[in-house]
Structure 1
Amino acid sequence: MPQMAPMSWLFLFSMFSIALILFTIINYFFTIYQPISSSEETSLPKISLNWKW
């Protein structure tokens, strides 16, 4: 689309930049982290791999 005016490109760039920044802020502040309790850590099986070369 080379016929578009430079102001239109600037508007599109600013719109997508603001959308990207808002999306990353929303993902950063609204994620709910579930901390791993110590009982879940001990229940995981530990597999030791003995490589015989």
Structure 2
Amino acid sequence: MPQMAPLSWLTLFTVFSLTLILFGIVNYFLSSPNAPESTSSQFKTQPFNWKW
């Protein structure tokens, strides 16, 4: 079984690297986060009574 030439390893590396980069870019721009419906009712704070 003959070994692969270094040029073939370089082209394989570039193809897989470009595929990974393109997949990351497409995944980043196609994902849309869900916006919360109402932010005022979600966070209710109660005052703290510190008793030292």
Query: TM-score normalised to the size of structure 1?
Result: 0.65
- Kindly state the Cα deviation for residue 2 of structure 1 after the two structures are TM-superposed: 7.0
Aligned residues: 41
1:33 maps to which residue? 33
Aligned residue for 2:14? 14
Structure 1, unmatched stretches of 5+, are 43-53
Identity of aligned residues (%): 54
Q: Which has the higher helix share?
A: 1
Structure 2 unaligned regions, length at least 5: 43-52
The two structures, once aligned, show a CA RMSD in angstroms of 2.2
One-letter amino acid of the structure 1 residue matched with residue 23 of structure 2:
F
